[in-house]
Amino acid sequence: MLIVVSLLPLLAFSQTKISTFEQVDSLQKTNPRNIVVFIHTDWCKYCQSMKQTTFKNKKVAQKLNDHFWFIDFNAEEKRDIQFVGHTFKFKPTGRKTGIHELAEQLGTVNGKTSYPTLCILNDKYEIIFQYDQFLSAEDLLKVLDGVFGE
C-alpha cells in the first residue's frame, strides 16, 4: 500500500491538464497564454503514439501545464464547438466520415489536413506554429521553448 501511495505524486506529475475550446475562451480573459492544440483522430497510429509517449513525458506535461493552455482535439468530433465568437460544426464527407470545421481551420497546412497536427495559437488566437507530423517529446520541448522564449 505504501508503494502505491508514494507513486501517486509521480503519476499525477506526468498528466497534462486538458482544456476545452470553451474553457480556454474564458481562461484567456484572466490568464492569457499561448494555446497548444493537438489535432488527431482515433484511427491514426502516429496520433496514438504521440498520446502515449510525447504527451506523457514529464517535462512536456510540466511545460504545457505551467505555460500553455492545452487542447486535445479529435478532428472527427461531432459536437458543435463555440470558440472565439463562432460556432464550428462537424462536416460529413461520407456516410461514416467527416471532419470538424475547427480541425480543418487549425489543422490545414499547405492546403491539406493530415494527422497528427500540432497547432499553437498566441493569446490573440493567431496561428503562430503548425506542424503536421509526429513530434517526439524532445522535439516538442524545443518547439515549446522556442514559443515560450526560453
| CATH number assigned to the domain comprising residue 64 | 3.40.30.10
- Residue 34 is assigned to a structural domain of this protein: yes
pLDDT digits (tens, 9 = 90+) for 40-66: 999 999 999 999 999 999 999 999 999
Residue 136: is its pLDDT beyond 70? yes
CA–CA gap between residue 14 and residue 24 (Å, rounded): 21
Residue 2: is its pLDDT beyond 70? no
- Residue 93 is assigned to a structural domain of this protein: yes
- Residue 43 is assigned to a structural domain of this protein: yes
Please give the span between the terminal C-alpha atoms of the chain, in angstroms, as a whole number: 40
103 exposure class (CB count in 10 Å sphere: 0-12, 13-18, 19+) = buried
pLDDT digits (tens, 9 = 90+) for 8-18: 444 444 588 89
**Domain region containing 130:** 13-148
- Residue 3 is assigned to a structural domain of this protein: no
- Residue 8 is assigned to a structural domain of this protein: no
Number of domains the chain contains:
1
In the block, which residue shows the cell 481562461?
Answer: 27
- Residue 6 is assigned to a structural domain of this protein: no
Instruction: Report residue 96's pLDDT band, with 50, 70 and 90 as the boundaries.
Output: confident
Residue 29: is its pLDDT beyond 70? yes
